[in-house]
Amino acid sequence: MKNILIISKRNNLKTEFEKTALFRNIIISQTLDNKLLDGIDILIADNSAISYKTYIDNLQNFLKLVPSNYFIADSTDTYSSVNKVLSSYGIIVIAPYLSDTQICQKICSMTADNHLPVRNIICFFGAGPCAGTSMISLSAAQVISDISNKNTCYLNLNGRYGADYIDNLSDDFGLANIKERLANNILSEEELKDSCIKSSCLYFLPGEKEISKVRHYHPEHIEKLTDLASKTFDITVINAGSSITGMSIGALNSSNLKILVSTQSQKYFKNFNNQVTQIISNLGISAQDFLLVVNKYIEYGGLENEIVLAKKYGMQLLSVIPFLEYIAGLEAEIKKKTLLGFDRAFANSIKQLSVSLLKQLGIEIQGGAKTLKSAGIFKKRL
């Protein structure tokens, strides 16, 4: 087991590493003390406690005495400017928006030999508005729960309530009902389950009812929610929408499978590229960390095909979802159903997507393929 020295004012960071029980000794100091470096295997230096200049002045000593070095940036400007310099020395620079829990998980995954992540969290993020993120993510969650027989939680974190497929929904369900207990870290697994609408193995947690209150959800709130969901359910599927908010940042930080939903439209590529450059890269996430789903696909020589799009986005292609006629989508919306029962090609594409995701998670498909019914997902609320 390895020894860690943390130079930081974030005392909770030490607590997070202690919880893992993966390290022999964990020392935290608010200032640099070279005497503490003896016998240290991992050095974590927080820019809020040690300036970049001081870190550079002591860099050769750190590299000589400590095998693994990490530097936590305290701002996006710092992250952008120091990442290239420090990475050339083999130092991992941690993005500024990660919580203590996320920092711990990231470092454990790279340093602890027996660290086995068990979080089965899939996050769908849209390249832009109306790319189809809500329909694709919810349809995939339904099929995943059907063909795996695993308790699957669907978190609607796109900034809307997301009750398009539920009749006569009462106010007893949803994120707004558990926010206070979530923020105070007292939300239980049973309370989370009770806030969800259940249908067979699928649990649906509606989002925030009031648009004006979405801004009050910070990334750490969502990280607490996803952490609890991963302990409560076998699989968690998140609809993170297409905008950068506290909800989507927390969802992206928490997920081990990140899915980008886009189309053949050039505007979506430009929008997502801007988001990566300006914000997402500062979370320590690159475009290559996503898997690509091309939605509303049209076979036409004047449009880029799925292979070209995958290379353009710099991502592995996960699935292609065909374009459906407007009337099918409108009928599904009126009847409060997903598109699974309205188009065989769509249903087959979602099944292929769901099978691929389960394989990525190492989860077995139970009993072969099941017939996808057109009935509303939440016909009965339990």
Whether residue 354 sits in one domain with residue 256: yes
Task: Identify the domain boundary among 65, 90, 111.
Answer: 111
Whether residue 153 sits in one domain with residue 273: yes
Whether residue 310 sits in one domain with residue 221: yes
Whether residue 272 sits in one domain with residue 250: yes
Whether residue 263 sits in one domain with residue 141: yes
Closest CA to 177 of 200, 195, 159: 195
Is 220 inside a domain boundary? yes
Whether residue 235 sits in one domain with residue 198: yes
Whether residue 175 sits in one domain with residue 49: no
Whether residue 295 sits in one domain with residue 227: yes
Task: Identify the domain boundary among 53, 82, 111.
Answer: 111
Q: Which CATH number is 292's domain given?
A: 3.40.50.300
Whether residue 348 sits in one domain with residue 264: yes
Q: How many domains does the chain have?
A: 2
Is 315 inside a domain boundary? yes
Task: Identify the domain boundary among 52, 84, 111.
Answer: 111
Is 372 inside a domain boundary? no
pLDDT in 10s for each residue of the chain, 382 residues: 899 999 999 989 999 999 988 999 999 999 999 999 999 999 999 999 999 999 999 999 999 999 999 999 988 777 878 988 998 899 999 988 788 888 898 898 888 655 555 579 999 999 999 999 999 999 999 999 999 999 999 999 999 998 777 666 667 789 999 999 998 989 999 999 999 999 899 999 999 988 899 999 999 899 999 999 999 999 999 999 999 999 999 999 999 899 999 999 999 999 999 999 999 988 888 999 999 999 999 999 899 999 999 999 999 999 999 998 777 777 877 887 888 888 889 999 999 999 999 999 999 998 554 545 544 555 544 3
The rounded distance, in Å, linking the Cα atoms of 301 and 240 is 32
| Burial degree of 74 (CB within 10 A; 0-12, 13-18, 19+) | middle
Whether residue 340 sits in one domain with residue 203: yes
Which runs of E-coded beta strand occur in 47-158? 68-72, 92-94, 121-126, 152-156
Whether residue 205 sits in one domain with residue 107: no
Quote the pLDDT of residue 98.
81
Domain membership of residue 28 as a residue range: 2-111
Whether residue 216 sits in one domain with residue 236: yes
Quote the pLDDT of residue 167.
64
Is 367 inside a domain boundary? no
Q: Name the 3-class secondary structure at 318.
A: strand
Q: Which CATH number is 93's domain given?
A: 3.40.50.2300
pTM exceeds 0.95, yes or no: no
Is 329 inside a domain boundary? yes
DSSP state, residue 163: -
Is 296 inside a domain boundary? yes
Is 161 inside a domain boundary? yes
DSSP state, residue 167: S
